[in-house]
Structure 1
Amino acid sequence: MVGADRAHSPKQPSPLHSVSVAGAVVRDDGRMLAIRRADNGRWELPGGVLEIEEAPEGGVRREVLEETGVEVEVGRLTGVYKNMARGIVALVFRCHPVGGTAQTSDEAAAVSWLTPDEVAASMTEAYAVRLLDAIGDNPPYVRIHDGQRLVTS
């Protein structure tokens, strides 16, 4: 009887996740595109929420262009990152700039091409790793974080 009762009991709804996309835009000289967010002043890579009707690659192109004025060719997936505190899953793709001019926007108070050392020094660990993971030809990383630091499982 317990099994039958369990089968008919109302199921709890699953928590919802948000999916975001970001571009790890790397120039031929190794410098990486970063923005200082207008809302919180933190340095991050350009990206945002994936819209329902968008493919991930299209979302990356849109977000990078909207936030930085840089047009990109989207390459391979370099990592999947989950913010455990906020339930956000971010897909990060390595990109190559193909046009446009880096400029600020409503979302980016500053736009800069940073060296890997500058990325590590100016970003929180949870965001720096997204750009640094895009260097090289490693398989995609899967990492979790609390919004600031990586979390080990």
Structure 2
Amino acid sequence: MNSSPLHSVSVAGVTVDDQGRVLLVRRRDNGQWQAPGGVLELEERFEGGVVREVLEETGVRVEVERLSGVYKNLSKGVVALVYRCHPIGGTAQPTDESVEVAWLTVEDALNRMSPAFAVRVTDALNENVVPPGSRAHDGHTLL
């Protein structure tokens, strides 16, 4: 019997446009507003996974700027690497994975998200955090 803990690795992209708006999705599976992202595939590099996930969930092509934070959902064993990105093409639109896709002001974006996911946007917008911080949450609340 293997007693090692099992973890999943996910990636997400906090995409900020030239007007300072943030690209968010309302997820089809749980109805929550979040930065687009998902599980990293075995053969993917982190940045490639972010580019793929943002495109799949929003229709927007992005370029990764930098790692902005590392987060762990303690209740689900999910470790998420979140990257700040900027758009380079495509059109924001709902997909199979997102009910809504929207460019939102930072204030509106933060008001729509639970604290565990809003902090990802706050951290991505903070240019002074080097290296990026790490945080833990229970799926909703920062711990």
Gaps (5+ residues) in structure 2? none
2:116 — aligned with what?
A: 126
Between the aligned partners of 2:108 and 2:133, the Cα distance in structure 1 is 21
What is the CA-CA distance between 1:114 and the residue it aligns to?
Answer: 1.2
CA RMSD after TM alignment: 1.0
Give me the whole-angstrom Cα distance separating, in 1, the residues matched to 2:139 and 2:71.
Answer: 10
Q: How many residues align?
A: 141
Please tell me the residue identity of whatever aligns with 2:5. P
| 8 Å Cα contact 2:110/2:121 also seen in 1 | no
When the two structures are superposed, what TM-score results if normalisation uses the length of structure 1? Answer: 0.89
Residue 48 of structure 1, aligned match among 11, 29, 38: 38
TM-score (normalizing by structure 2): 0.96
Moved segments of 4+, more than 3 Å: none
1:13 Cα deviation after fit:
1.8
Cα drift, residue 12 of structure 1: 5.4
Report the secondary structure of 2:54's partner residue: helix
Q: State the structure with more CA Rg.
A: 1
Measure the CA separation in 1 of the matches of 2:49 and 2:110.
26
Offset from partner CA, 1:55-93 (integer Å, 9 cap, x none): 000000000000000000011100000000000000000
Identity in percent: 60
| Counterpart position of 1:15 | 5
Aligned to 1:148: 140
Q: Which runs of 5+ in 1 are unaligned?
A: 1-10
Pairing of 1:82-101 with structure 2 (within 5 A): 82-101=72-91
Distance (Å, rounded) in 1 between the aligned partners of 2:113 and 2:57: 17
